[in-house]
Structure 1
């Protein structure tokens, strides 16, 4: 049986997977992000995967700080996740993660994030850039929202409407 903590991580990882496809409904946004990543020496596929996992880590950290269950995660405001992406230290995002990940890609991406965090140098600079890209992406979704406080559940609803698989 899957624990609530594992289910919470899955919801956070799902948020990361649907974020960029939702933002990229305006194709120029993807082109701009690719230009920015390339200009900073970050492979676009790697950078986008790191933005996905960064999203999951920021959402997970905030959910743990608020003692949210997986069932309560959908009510988490996106603004709080955006604030955590740029307001928390990279190593703080790694606290409280599951011991194992159902999706091996998540475990690998978390390990790369961990490596970037502790290696320092230009890797720390890359994480700073990725945190800003993440915050920008979350703000883009929030600005598109007719509701004043977009939540993670609202993002999942938009992903369903857009036909993004969950």
Structure 2
């Protein structure tokens, strides 16, 4: 894996980690989201981790499709990442993901995503419905005032302002 590819992967993982805390700045959203995983038979803590994980391959797929460098990653529109969650099948999101990682948490996230993609139809359907929560969170952040059509860089700046560590 090239250093650029590794850095893009880390930016994708960071996007996943800060996504829910930034959406949760509106407290009513957190309580609603915690009900949804339960409705789908998924423990809320596991559901939140899966939501974090689903953002990684979606952002990575968009970055790969756009052939962006780490410096250009911040310019990726959030709505494009959200679109990858509905426009690509599991295999499309898995394509191009690295085989090795420098961060154990990133490796665990991608491994879990791969296992979910190859699970039974019922399990896969239940778990991948949570990707709708990721899409919703990305759209909420993309459309949150004052920055309409927000980018990944806008999310990173918001995370820095909120004190969320990279």
For 1:23, the equivalent position in structure 2 comes to 23
Change (3 A) 1:147 1:26: closer
Question: Tell me, which stretches of 5 or more residues in structure 1 are unaligned?
Answer: none
1:110 offset after TM fit, Å? 1.2
Q: What is the correspondence of 1:100-119 to structure 2 with a 5 Å cutoff?
A: 100-119=100-119
Runs of 4+ in 1 over 4 A off after TM superposition: none
Q: How far, CA to CA, are the matches of 1:154 and 1:137 in structure 2?
A: 14
Question: Tell me, which stretches of 5 or more residues in structure 2 are unaligned?
Answer: none
TM-score by length of structure 2 reads 0.94
Structural RMSD (CA): 1.5
For 1:7, the equivalent position in structure 2 comes to 7
Q: How far, CA to CA, are the matches of 1:52 and 1:69 in structure 2?
A: 22
For 1:83, the equivalent position in structure 2 comes to 83
Q: Secondary structure at the match of 2:33?
A: helix
Q: How far, CA to CA, are the matches of 1:17 and 1:161 in structure 2?
A: 15
Q: How far, CA to CA, are the matches of 1:147 and 1:108 in structure 2?
A: 33
Contact 1:79 1:138 survives alignment (8 Å): yes
Change (3 A) 1:127 1:87: farther
